[in-house]
């Protein structure tokens, strides 16, 4: 029973972190979480250790357990690394994917498209997360997989903005991303690494500007600022 509770707690915390229900940099309340998930401190801390190893949490004996932050340094590293890691993983996926993995990818893509049709922002972000995790599994590279999985934590958190379009132009970008997924699957089926690398870079660039807004504040209205300064 304790194993099931630990697994349920771990999966719930992962979902809450990825969907921003628990904000980046937040300190976790052990007492509250112990009560919420029916775990004593020892198994809860084992969950924390596992999630810290996966990159979701940061452990600090003096400052408690915190959700991995998205500060300036980490975001700089993210934007530098993302296109290289995604491209390398995609190339290997096209070379190494097996039949069941492709079927799993198609299934997740169908869920992703359905979530888009129903305007379910969180579901789209989570299905996109799983889509790229499966591509990582296809690649089967023990050096790239940890980097990809860590990258996807921040990408999924920031992608909430991309999958919440505010106008018709942004909605078209979401559907373009969805179509790119289909094209990536086709390239994998054809074992065409060159095509999927090109698609992956385009896929990254499609959402990059919107994702950057997650860490970049909106510009101040200059006239309004001058007006307030004069008051």
Q: What is the pLDDT of residues 95-152, one digit of tens each?
A: 999 999 999 999 999 999 999 999 999 999 999 999 999 999 999 999 999 999 999 9
> 72-212: CATH homologous superfamily?
GntR ligand-binding domain-like (1.20.120.530)
Residue 80 CA from chain centroid, whole number: 16
3-state SS, residue 65: strand
- Amino acid 208: pLDDT: 82
Domain range annotation of the chain:
2-67, 72-212
Q: Are strands 57-60 and 64-67 parallel, antiparallel or unpaired?
A: antiparallel
Report, as an integer, the average pLDDT of 77-83.
Answer: 93
Tens-digit pLDDT profile for residues 41-78: 999 999 999 999 999 999 987 778 999 998 888 888 99
Report, as an integer, the average pLDDT of 21-34.
Answer: 94
Cα-Cα-Cα-Cα dihedral sign, residues 191, 194, 199, 200: positive
The CATH class of the 2-67 domain is mainly alpha
- Amino acid 2: pLDDT: 63
Q: How many C-beta neighbours within 10 Å does residue 77 have?
A: 12
Tens-digit pLDDT profile for residues 141-197: 999 999 999 999 999 999 988 898 888 988 999 999 999 999 999 999 999 999 999
pLDDT band for position 224 (cuts 50, 70, 90): very low
What is this structure's pTM? 0.87
Q: How many C-beta neighbours within 10 Å does residue 51 have?
A: 23
Tens-digit pLDDT profile for residues 193-221: 999 999 999 999 988 877 776 665 555 55
C-alpha–C-alpha distance, residues 153 and 99, integer Å: 27
């Amino acid at each position: 029973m304790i194993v099931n509770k630990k697994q349920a707690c771990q999966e719930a915390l992962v979902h809450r972190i990825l969907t921003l229900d628990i904000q980046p940099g937040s300190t976790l309340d052990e007492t509250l979480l112990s009560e919420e998930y029916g775990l004593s401190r020892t198994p809860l801390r084992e969950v924390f250790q596992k999630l810290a190893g996966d990159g979701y949490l940061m452990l600090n004996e003096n400052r408690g357990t915190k959700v991995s932050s998205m500060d300036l340094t980490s975001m700089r590293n993210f934007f530098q690394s993302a296109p290289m890691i995604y491209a390398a993983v995609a190339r290997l996926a096209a070379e190494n994917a097996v039949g069941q993995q492709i079927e799993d990818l198609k299934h997740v893509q169908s869920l992703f498209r359905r979530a888009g049709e129903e305007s379910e922002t969180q579901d789209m972000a989570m299905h996109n997360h799983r889509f790229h995790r499966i591509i990582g599994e296809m690649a089967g590279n023990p050096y790239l997989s940890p980097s990809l999985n860590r990258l996807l934590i921040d990408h999924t958190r920031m992608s909430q903005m991309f999958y919440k379009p505010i106008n018709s132009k942004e909605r078209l970008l979401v559907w373009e991303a969805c179509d790119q997924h289909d094209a990536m699957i086709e390239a994998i089926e054809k074992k065409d690494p060159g095509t999927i690398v090109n698609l992956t870079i385009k896929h990254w660039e499609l959402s990059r500007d919107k994702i950057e807004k997650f860490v970049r504040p909106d510009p101040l209205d200059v006239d309004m600022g001058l007006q307030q300064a004069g008051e």
